[in-house]
C-alpha cells in the first residue's frame, strides 16, 4: 500500500475514534502510538528505538520526562510531547522548548494525536524554534505535506536531509500564511504595496481604506479563476473518456433501451460550467480522497457529482446555467440542502461542506 493510502486510512480511523477519546493516555494508545508505528514505521515496542518517558533534565530540575523519544544509533533524534486530542497545542510549545535544549535531539514533535507540529533549531543552534516548520492535520490531509511527512518514515529518515528541507518549509509556510491572512483581511501595508503599482494618486488613509475591499476581492477572484482554468486545462481528456465510457455502456443495452437512452441523451448537454464545477470540486476534495474516486453523472434535471461512481453516494448536485444557479448538498439523512451561487467559483466557499459529505463515505 502506498504511503498516501496508509495516511488516508489512518485519517479515516482517527475521524471515527476522536469523539470517544477522553484522556491523554487514551490519545497516546489510540492515536499517537499507532501513528508512529503504522504510518511512520517505528517499532514502538523496541526500547532501543522508541523510548517512553524519556528523561530530559532541565537546568536544576532533574527527572523531567518527555513522553517519547525516537533513537538513532543510540542517541535521541526526535522528542515527542503528547497531549489529549481535545486539547489545543499552543500553550504547550514552551514545555517541548525546555526539553529540546537538554538533549542531542534534532527534532521535536508536539501532538494531540490529530495535529502534529514538527520543530527544529533553524534560527539558533540547540534552541528550538518558536514556530514549527511542518504542521500535519490528520483529519485534513493535504497533498502538499504528504511528501514532507514521508521524510520522517523510518526507512526514509535522514536527519541532515530533513533539516536542510526544514528551512524551505518553514519560510514557505510563513509566506503562504501571510498571503492567506491578506486574502482574509487585507492590511494597510499590503494595500499600500499594491497601490504603489496601480494607483498614481496620493495614498491617504481614506484611499487605502477605499481600496482594501477591492484588493481583497480581486486577489480571491484571481486565485479562484486561475485554479479553475488550470484544472479545466489539465483534465479536459476526462470528458472524452467519460463520453467513450457512456458510449460503451449504451451498446450493451437492447434495442428498446437504446431508443430510450438516445432520447434522454439528446436532452442532456454537459456544459462548460458543469465541467468547470466538477474540476473545482475534485480539486477541493483532493485533500481528503483519491480524485479518481470522484466522478460525475449528468442527467436531464441536474449535474451530479458522485463518490466511487455510486449514485447512492452522491456528493452534490448542481443546477447551473439558469436564472439562479443552485448547489445541492445532502445532509446525513440524504435530505437536500440548497444553496444559491453566483458563479462556479463560489464552490470554494463550501469547501468544508463538501469535505464533510465525502468523509461520510470513506469512514
**Is a pLDDT exceeding 60 seen at residue 60?**
no
Quote the cell numbers at residue 322: 439558469
Output the pLDDT for position 91.
Answer: 60
* Domain segments of the chain as ranges: 3-177, 185-233, 268-362
Of 1-5, 159-163, 251-255, the poorest mean pLDDT is in 251-255
pLDDT tens digits, one per residue of 319-343: 988 788 999 999 988 899 999 998 8
C-alpha to C-alpha distances, 63 to 15, 36, 57, 109, 311, nearest whole angstrom: 35, 25, 6, 20, 59
Mean pLDDT of the 290-296 span = 87
**Is a pLDDT exceeding 70 seen at residue 353?**
yes
**Is a pLDDT exceeding 70 seen at residue 57?**
no
Angle at 168 between CA 164 and CA 174, to 5 degrees: 140
- How far out from the chain centre does Cα 182 lie? 20
Output the pLDDT for position 251.
Answer: 47
Q: Indicate the pTM of the whole model.
A: 0.59
Mean pLDDT of the 259-273 span = 62
Output the pLDDT for position 328.
Answer: 94
Q: Which range among 116-120, 180-184, 285-289 has the greatest average pLDDT? A: 116-120
| Stronger pLDDT, 317 or 90, i.e. the higher one | 317
Average pLDDT, the chain: 83
Mean pLDDT of the 249-269 span = 51
Output the pLDDT for position 234.
Answer: 54
Output the pLDDT for position 126.
Answer: 80
Mean pLDDT of the 10-36 span = 93
C-alpha to C-alpha distances, 184 to 100, 143, 181, nearest whole angstrom: 35, 23, 5
Output the pLDDT for position 55.
Answer: 81
Fold of the domain built from segment(s) 3-177: tt1808, chain A (3.90.1570)
Q: Which range among 137-141, 174-178, 264-268 has the greatest average pLDDT? A: 137-141
C-alpha to C-alpha distances, 321 to 14, 239, 270, 278, 349, nearest whole angstrom: 40, 19, 11, 14, 19
C-alpha to C-alpha distances, 59 to 69, 245, 325, nearest whole angstrom: 19, 69, 64
Of the pLDDT bands very low, low, confident and very high (cuts 50, 70, 90), residue 253 is very low
Angle at 295 between CA 291 and CA 300, to 5 degrees: 155
pLDDT tens digits, one per residue of 197-223: 888 888 899 989 988 888 888 887 777
pLDDT tens digits, one per residue of 73-132: 888 999 999 999 988 887 655 667 777 777 788 999 999 999 999 999 988 888 888 888
Output the pLDDT for position 45.
Answer: 95
Output the pLDDT for position 167.
Answer: 83
pLDDT tens digits, one per residue of 231-245: 666 555 455 555 545
| Stronger pLDDT, 317 or 101, i.e. the higher one | 317
Of 93-107, 252-266, 310-324, the poorest mean pLDDT is in 252-266
**Is a pLDDT exceeding 50 seen at residue 252?**
no
What proportion of the chain, given as a percentage, has pLDDT over 70? 84
Helix (H) or strand (E) holding 67: strand 65-72
Pure H helices in 21-129: 24-27, 33-34, 93-100
What proportion of the chain, given as a percentage, has pLDDT over 90? 35
**Is a pLDDT exceeding 60 seen at residue 138?**
yes
| Stronger pLDDT, 175 or 62, i.e. the higher one | 175
First to last CA, the chain: 18
Amino acid at each position: 500500500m502506498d504511503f498516501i493510502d496508509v495516511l488516508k486510512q489512518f485519517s479515516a480511523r482517527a475521524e471515527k475514534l476522536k469523539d470517544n477519546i477522553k484522556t491523554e493516555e487514551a490519545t497516546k494508545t489510540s492515536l499517537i502510538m499507532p501513528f508512529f508505528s503504522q504510518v511512520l514505521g517505528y517499532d514502538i515496542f523496541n526500547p532501543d528505538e522508541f523510548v517512553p518517558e524519556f528523561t530530559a533534565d532541565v537546568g536544576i530540575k532533574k527527572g523531567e520526562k518527555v513522553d517519547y523519544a525516537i533513537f538513532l544509533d543510540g542517541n535521541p533524534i526526535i522528542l515527542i510531547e503528547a497531549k489529549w486530542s481535545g486539547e489545543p497545542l499552543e500553550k504547550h510549545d514552551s514545555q517541548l522548548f525546555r526539553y529540546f535544549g537538554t538533549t542531542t535531539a534534532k527534532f521535536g514533535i508536539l501532538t494531540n494525536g490529530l495535529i502534529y507540529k514538527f520543530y527544529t533549531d533553524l534560527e539558533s543552534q540547540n534552541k528550538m524554534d518558536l514556530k514549527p516548520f511542518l504542521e500535519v492535520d490528520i483529519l485534513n490531509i493535504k497533498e502538499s505535506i504528504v511528501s514532507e511527512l514521508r521524510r520522517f518514515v523510518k526507512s526514509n529518515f535522514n536527519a541532515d536531509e530533513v533539516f536542510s528541507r526544514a528551512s524551505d518549509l518553514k519560510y514557505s509556510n510563513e509566506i503562504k500564511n501571510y498571503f492567506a491572512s491578506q486574502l482574509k483581511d487585507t492590511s494597510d501595508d499590503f494595500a499600500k504595496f499594491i497601490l504603489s503599482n496601480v494607483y498614481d494618486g496620493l495614498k491617504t488613509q481614506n484611499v487605502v481604506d477605499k481600496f482594501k475591499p477591492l484588493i481583497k476581492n480581486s486577489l480571491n477572484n484571481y486565485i479562484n479563476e486561475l485554479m479553475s482554468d488550470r484544472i479545466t486545462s489539465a483534465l479536459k481528456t476526462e470528458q472524452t473518456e467519460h463520453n467513450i465510457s457512456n458510449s460503451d455502456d449504451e451498446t450493451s443495452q437492447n434495442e428498446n433501451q437504446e431508443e430510450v437512452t438516445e432520447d434522454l441523451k439528446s436532452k442532456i448537454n454537459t456544459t462548460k460550467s458543469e465541467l468547470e464545477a466538477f474540476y473545482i470540486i475534485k480539486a477541493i476534495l483532493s485533500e481528503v480522497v483519491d480524485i479518481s474516486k470522484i466522478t460525475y453523472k449528468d442527467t436531464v434535471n441536474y449535474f451530479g457529482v458522485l463518490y466511487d461512481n455510486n449514485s447512492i453516494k452522491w456528493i452534490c448536485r448542481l443546477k447551473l446555467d439558469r436564472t439562479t444557479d443552485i448547489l445541492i448538498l445532502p445532509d446525513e439523512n440524504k435530505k437536500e440542502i440548497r444553496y444559491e451561487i453566483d458563479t462556479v467559483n463560489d464552490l470554494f466557499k463550501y469547501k468544508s461542506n463538501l469535505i464533510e459529505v465525502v468523509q461520510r463515505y470513506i469512514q
